[in-house]
């Protein structure tokens, strides 16, 4: 993975930067020695590592602003970092960059029940928001599996999803406003506590921009009343085809479940060995379907889904009758990653989305590729929205194996694009899928996105080297080919 080359002139400033940053946040919060910076060397994509030049940990918006103004003026690159759980290398440091950690901005500032929203700092953990409002009967819907640790700021930057996003949406659908600091230190607000904002949808475009447009220092999230009841159904199927057909049937019958997850045989076995969730080991695929809402609704729909599952040839079927049982159904799915970690020294998580109708074909081709590369692949699948997570199992200690894994991963994602899908459903492009962007986008498509980057960060100082395979100078991107009035009136029907 090629990152922008380190600038020796910046590296030379290291000592003076330490002092200047220390003046802003206090020297205790500038990490400069190898031991304390080690934690920041990589994120959830641990295959990529890079020591940052420095780490700075501001505690307030004003400090973030002062740090950014300093770095902006000196031309020093900044890499924002939340909890460091990104699976695409979004928070991977730069050798000549300052990693700006938001862990000290960790307070819930206000819970506004009257407007059904909460105002939190970016370093607050995702789950902490739901926990803070639970007693009042509310929750924050987006629930990435990393929710115990991942930060709300990181969720906004990655536009994270979760198992409930089929019904409740991704992060972007659950935000009302943000406060953000621009690269020159200017503090701006997009949105508020109302349902829309005037002008261009800045909140929308910043969400999912992977820390490249500004640093988010405050987030206003929507709160939803907790559904009174949730029940889950666990069905085993004799093939991926029949499992996939059942998903299409459920949705085709007008049911949007709170969660609709599928796992294939290798994933079922890994999960079952790991946590004994009671998954049917003879099944080729299982579906976990969760319904939530008023009890009468959940009971009626779970009955209907059971019938559909049977009609699709389910070989086993269990419906949760207690909360414990429901949690147990989920346990296996939620521990799919650690389960994979137990059967192989390392695993690599992919994250493509496909049109669901192509599921069985895609799974078949993945299994062919898995044989060809001699690398086992287990699949967990947010089946409702077509978001596939193949887990490639490998051993990084075997020389050359990581490279093989990356190649297989790239082939899987390219396949997703080929069948009409996309490179990433929720984990982001980061550095990981950066060089695959041209499989989905033309050069002009990518340049148009880069012009958005230029409007926010004209010198490419914020998290450069992520998302875009080639860096273009903003001046070059802004140029337009003009004919100076030589063009005739176009030859198009006119009235």
Partner 1 sequence: MADTLQPRDQDDLLEAMTWAADKGSPLEIVGSGSKRSLGRTMQCSATLDLRAFAGIEEYEAAELVLTAGAATPLAEIEIALAEAGQMLAFEPMDTGALLGVEMSGTLGGLLACNLSGPRRIRAGAARDHFLGFSAVSGRAERFKAGGKVVKNVTGYDLCKLLAGSHGTLAALCEVSLKVLPRPEKTRTVLVFGLSEERAVEAMGAALSSSNEPSGAAFLPAKLAAHSGVDYVSGAGSSVTAMRVEGVDVSVDARCQALRELLGAFGETEELHSSRSLKFWREIRDVVPFAGDDRVVWRISVPPAAGGALARKLIDAQPCELFMDWGGGLLWVAMSTGGDGDDGGGAALHKAAAAAGGHASCVRASAALRGHIDVFQPMSPALDGLTRRLKDGFDPAGILNPGRMYAGI
Cβ count within 10 A of residue 91: 30
- Nearest one of 323, 262, 252, 270 to 289, comparing CA atoms: 262
Residues 411-470 that bind partner 1 (CB under 8 A): 420-429, 433, 437, 440-442, 444-449, 451-456, 467
Query: In this chain, which stretch among 36-44, 52-60, 262-270, 486-494 interacts with partner 1, using CB under 8 A?
Result: 486-494
Residue 248 in the binding site for partner 1 (CB under 8 A) = yes
Q: Which of 20, 255, 331, 343 binds partner 1 (CB under 8 A)?
A: 255
What is the 8-class DSSP label of residue 422? B
Q: How far is the CB of 44 from ligand FAD (least distance, A)?
A: 4
Sign of CA dihedral 18, 21, 25, 29: negative
Pick 126 or 367: Cβ nearer ligand FAD: 126
Q: How far is the CB of 144 from partner 1 (least distance, A)?
A: 12
Residue with tokens 């991926």: 240
Sequence-distant (6+) residues with CB within 8 A of 269 are: 281
Residue 86 in the binding site for partner 1 (CB under 8 A) = no
**Phi/psi at 334 (nearest 5 deg)?**
-70, -25
Cβ count within 10 A of residue 323: 11
Residue 182 in the binding site for partner 1 (CB under 8 A) = yes
Q: How far is the CB of 428 from ligand FAD (least distance, A)?
A: 6
Q: How far is the CB of 8 from partner 1 (least distance, A)?
A: 31
Q: Which does 92 bind (CB under 5 to 8 A by kind): partner 1, ligand FAD, none?
A: none
Per CB under 6 A, residues contacting ligand FAD are 43-44, 79-87, 90-91, 102, 122, 144-146, 150-151, 153-155, 157-158, 160-162, 210-211, 215-216, 337, 426-427, 463
Cβ count within 10 A of residue 383: 28
Pick 41 or 112: Cβ nearer partner 1: 112
Pick 328 or 356: Cβ nearer partner 1: 356
Sign of CA dihedral 247, 249, 252, 254: negative
Q: Which does 337 bind (CB under 5 to 8 A by kind): partner 1, ligand FAD, none?
A: ligand FAD
Query: In this chain, which stretch among 53-61, 225-233, 310-318, 365-373 interacts with partner 1, using CB under 8 A?
Result: 225-233
Q: Which of 201, 361, 401, 435 binds partner 1 (CB under 8 A)?
A: 201
Instruction: Please state whether beta strands 97-101 and 77-81 pair in parallel, antiparallel, or not at all (unpaired).
Output: parallel
Q: How far is the CB of 297 from ligand FAD (least distance, A)?
A: 26
Q: How far is the CB of 270 from partner 1 (least distance, A)?
A: 24
* Angle, CA 354 vertex, CA 350 and CA 360 arms, to 5°: 95
Sign of CA dihedral 232, 238, 241, 245: negative
Cβ count within 10 A of residue 324: 8
Cross-strand pairs, 101: 81
Instruction: Please state whether beta strands 259-264 and 138-139 pair in parallel, antiparallel, or not at all (unpaired).
Output: unpaired
Pick 42 or 370: Cβ nearer ligand FAD: 42
């Amino acid at each position: 993975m090629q990152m922008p080359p380190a600038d020796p002139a910046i590296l030379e400033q290291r000592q003076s930067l330490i002092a200047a940053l220390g003046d802003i946040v206090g020297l205790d919060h500038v990490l400069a020695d190898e031991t304390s910076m080690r934690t920041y060397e990589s994120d959830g994509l641990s295959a990529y590592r890079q020591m940052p030049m420095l780490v700075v940990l501001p505690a307030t918006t004003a400090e973030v602003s002062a740090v950014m103004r300093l770095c902006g003026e000196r031309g020093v690159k900044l890499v924002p970092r939340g909890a460091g759980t990104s699976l695409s290398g979004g928070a991977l440091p730069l050798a000549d960059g300052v990693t700006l950690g938001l862990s000290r901005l960790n307070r819930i500032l206000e819970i506004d029940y009257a407007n059904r929203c909460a105002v939190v700092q970016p370093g607050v953990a995702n789950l902490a928001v739901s926990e803070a409002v639970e007693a009042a009967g509310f929750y924050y819907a987006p629930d990435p599996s990393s929710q115990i640790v991942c930060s709300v700021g990181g969720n906004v930057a990655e536009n994270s999803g979760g198992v409930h996003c089929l019904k409740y949406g991704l992060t972007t659908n659950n935000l009302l406003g943000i406060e953000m600091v621009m690269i020159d230190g200017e503090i701006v607000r997009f949105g508020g506590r109302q349902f829309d904002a005037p002008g261009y949808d800045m909140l929308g475009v910043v969400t999912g921009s992977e820390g490249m447009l500004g640093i988010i220092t405050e987030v206003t999230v929507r709160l939803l009343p907790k559904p009174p009841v949730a029940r889950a159904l666990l069905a085993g199927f004799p093939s991926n085809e029949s499992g996939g057909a059942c998903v299409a049937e459920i949705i085709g019958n007008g049911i949007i479940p709170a969660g609709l997850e599928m796992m294939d045989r290798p994933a079922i076995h890994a999960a079952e060995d790991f946590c004994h969730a009671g998954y049917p080991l003879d099944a080729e695929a299982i579906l976990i379907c969760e319904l939530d809402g008023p009890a009468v609704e959940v009971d009626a729909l779970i009955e209907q889904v059971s019938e559909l599952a049977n009609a699709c040839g389910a070989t086993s079927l269990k419906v949760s009758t207690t909360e414990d049982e429901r949690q147990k159904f989920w346990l296996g799915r939620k521990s799919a990653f650690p389960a994979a970690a137990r059967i192989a020294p390392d695993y690599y998580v992919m994250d493509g989305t496909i049109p669901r109708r192509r599921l069985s074909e895609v799974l078949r081709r993945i299994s062919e590729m898995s044989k060809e590369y001699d690398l086992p692949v287990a699949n967990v699948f947010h089946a409702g929205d077509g978001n596939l997570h193949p887990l490639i199992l490998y051993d990084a200690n075997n020389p050359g194996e990581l490279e093989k894994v990356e190649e297989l991963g790239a082939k899987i994602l390219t396949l997703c694009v080929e069948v009409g899908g996309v490179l990433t459903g929720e984990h982001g492009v980061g550095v990981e899928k950066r060089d695959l962007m041209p499989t989905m986008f033309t050069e002009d498509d990518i340049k148009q996105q880069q012009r958005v980057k230029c409007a926010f960060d004209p010198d490419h100082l914020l998290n450069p080297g992520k998302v875009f395979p080639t860096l273009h100078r903003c001046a070059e991107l802004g140029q337009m080919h003009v004919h100076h009035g030589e063009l005739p009136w176009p030859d198009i029907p006119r009235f």
